[in-house]
Amino acid sequence: MESKGSVVFRMRDAADLYGLNKKKVAIFPLPSDFIVVEKGGRTIFAEVKSTQNKTSFPLGMLEKAQKAALSKVTKQGGYYHIYIHNLNTNTWYLMTGSQYLLYVSSNIKSVKWELLNEYLD
């Protein structure tokens, strides 16, 4: 898929594949939901998370493989973005891998919606 000079690759996960064939499938863990290559070559791993949590975004929503990829990519100077959808308010937030790692290193388990306002997308 191409959009505004970017190329977007959707990584199909087990839930997607189950929806396609209605059978349980095994799939290797993936680093993110999307890989985006912007015009100019910047590559971004993009994970999308939706929640109905009324007070905050639980950082534990990322799966083990996603957390590992986020850490590796970010520590190498790469780009990992988490697009957070608050289903209660239909609000989207953008958190970078660096911001996520800062919260986790501070032993924060979830981030209040009010604090995420700085990440409005």
∠ Cα 61 64 102 (to 5°): 65
Contact at 8 Å (CB) between 71 and 101?
Answer: yes
pTM over cut 0.95 = no
Tokens (6 digits) for 101: 């790692």
For 73-109, how does the pLDDT look when each residue is reduced to its tens digit (9 = 90+)? 999 999 999 999 999 999 999 999 999 999 999 999 9
Distance CA(25)–CA(66), nearest Å, equals 19
3-state secondary structure of 66: helix
For 56-68, how does the pLDDT look when each residue is reduced to its tens digit (9 = 90+)? 999 999 999 999 9
Tokens (6 digits) for 51: 């929640």
